[in-house]
Amino acid sequence: MPVFQSLSFIFSFVVDLRIHFVFINYFYFFCLLWFLSGLAVLSVF
pLDDT of residue 29: 95
CA 28/CA 21 separation, integer angstroms: 10
Tens of pLDDT, residue by residue over 20-35, are: 899 999 999 999 999 9
Closest C-alpha among 26, 23, 22 to residue 34: 26
Q: How many domains does the chain have?
A: 1
Closest C-alpha among 27, 3, 7 to residue 15: 7
Mean pLDDT of 12-25: 90
Domain that holds residue 38: 1-45
Mean pLDDT of 6-11: 89
pLDDT of residue 36: 93
CA 20/CA 26 separation, integer angstroms: 10
pTM for the whole structure = 0.51
Query: Is 90 exceeded by the pLDDT of residue 44?
Result: no
